[in-house]
């Protein structure tokens, strides 16, 4: 087991939604030497900036969370950018980490890397059994290349890099910008806006038949930190709950918890994305003792409450 409290840890994306929870978990573990680069100071798509980051932070461990990411709409509008930026950030962070003599690299992948029609529950050994769902394939494949690189570098150089696959995240502090938000924050915002305007219906993308699995961001952070401490193998590891819910049921649940009794209109001109998503989470539990704790309904309540307080505060400001 790696004692993180005695290590210098750099967390790319550490000021973001998931990163904020990861930094808090590291502090709870007694880690005091945490470096969080900001994109204005370190554009990680630029190799020179990556080299500067390693020189400035002098890390023992890197947790690479930084990503250019969004929902179906953002993926459809930015396939080239999502591919290039995510690939270049990850590839350069790993290569320069190897040259720097880094002790451990924790690469965060994406559930979008799985084939479109992966049998449920998704097992890690099915990652290469087909092409990802088309709307987010460029993003998913860019992230998947970090797994290839991690395994190749371990084989050739003995470089200790691990690869984690968190399922869709949600929680307080999520991105509620409609251009880039995922389904949970998008629905929470749509319902809040409708209630403010006293509207009696909202439009939801797709048919509602697709299923998804969601992991509370604080739980995901716990899994990432446990893996940083305890896991040192090449095989990819899912982080999730093993709980599957249809988008239709999800939308109805968010409406209920938000006190919205209006109508949900399904716009089927928009794609559903991957038909089903649900993970086999047994490897994370057996390898480093991770099991998600947060009840989904309770996690949604916390997220809705956070967003409502955030909107109230912004009105005052």
> Alpha carbon of 94 to those of 13, 108, 114, 133, 221: distances in Å?
15, 12, 22, 26, 21
The β-bridge relationship of strands 168-170 and 161-166 is unpaired
Q: Which of 42, 54, 114, 139 is catalytic?
A: 139
User: Are 277 and 122 a contacting pair, CB within 8 Å?
Assistant: yes
The β-bridge relationship of strands 245-246 and 161-166 is unpaired
The pair of three-digit structure tokens given for residue 83, joined into one six-digit string: 């591919």
Q: From CA 187, how far away is CA 202, in angstroms rounded?
A: 9
The pair of three-digit structure tokens given for residue 157, joined into one six-digit string: 């150089």
Tell whether the torsion through CA atoms of 305, 307, 312 and 313 is positive or negative. Answer: positive
**139 included as an active-site residue:** yes
Q: From CA 310, how far away is CA 72, in angstroms rounded?
A: 25
Q: From CA 301, how far away is CA 8, in angstroms rounded?
A: 35
Q: From CA 246, how far away is CA 250, in angstroms rounded?
A: 6
114 exposure class (CB count in 10 Å sphere: 0-12, 13-18, 19+): buried
3-state secondary structure 90-144: HHHHHHHHHHHCCCEEEEECCHHHCECCCCCCECHHHCCCCCECHHHHHHHHHHH
The helix/strand/coil state of 256 is: helix
The helix/strand/coil state of 15 is: coil
The residues that are catalytic are: 139
């Amino acid at each position: 087991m790696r004692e993180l409290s005695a290590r210098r840890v750099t967390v790319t994306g550490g000021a973001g939604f998931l990163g904020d929870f990861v930094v808090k978990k590291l502090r709870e573990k007694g880690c005091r030497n945490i470096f969080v680069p900001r994109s204005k100071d370190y554009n990680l798509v630029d190799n020179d900036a990556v080299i500067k980051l390693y020189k400035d932070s002098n890390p023992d461990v890197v947790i690479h969370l930084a990503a250019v990411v969004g929902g179906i709409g953002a993926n459809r509008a930015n396939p080239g950018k999502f591919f290039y930026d995510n690939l270049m950030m990850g590839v350069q962070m790993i290569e320069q980490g190897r040259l720097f003599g880094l002790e451990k690299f924790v690469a965060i992948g994406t559930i979008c890397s799985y084939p479109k029609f992966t049998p449920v529950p998704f097992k890690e050994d099915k990652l290469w059994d087909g092409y990802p769902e088309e709307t987010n394939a460029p993003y998913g494949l860019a992230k998947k290349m970090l797994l290839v690189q991690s395994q190749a570098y371990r084989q050739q150089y003995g470089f200790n890099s691990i690869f984690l696959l968190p399922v869709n995240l949600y929680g307080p502090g999520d991105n509620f910008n409609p251009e880039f938000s995922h389904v949970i924050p998008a629905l929470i915002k749509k319902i809040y806006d409708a209630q403010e305007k006293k509207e009696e219906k909202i439009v939801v993308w797709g048919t509602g038949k697709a299923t998804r699995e969601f992991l509370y961001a604080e739980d995901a952070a716990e899994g990432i930190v446990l893996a940083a401490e305890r896991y040192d193998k090449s095989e990819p590891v899912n982080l999730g709950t093993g709980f599957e819910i249809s988008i239709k049921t999800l939308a109805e649940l968010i409406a209920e918890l938000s006190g919205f009794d209006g109508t949900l209109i399904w716009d089927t001109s928009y794609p559903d994305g991957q038909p089903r998503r649900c993970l086999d989470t047994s490897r994370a539990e057996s390898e480093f003792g991770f099991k998600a704790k947060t009840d989904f309904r309770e996690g949604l309540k916390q997220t809705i409450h956070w967003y409502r307080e955030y909107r109230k505060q912004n009105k005052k400001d």
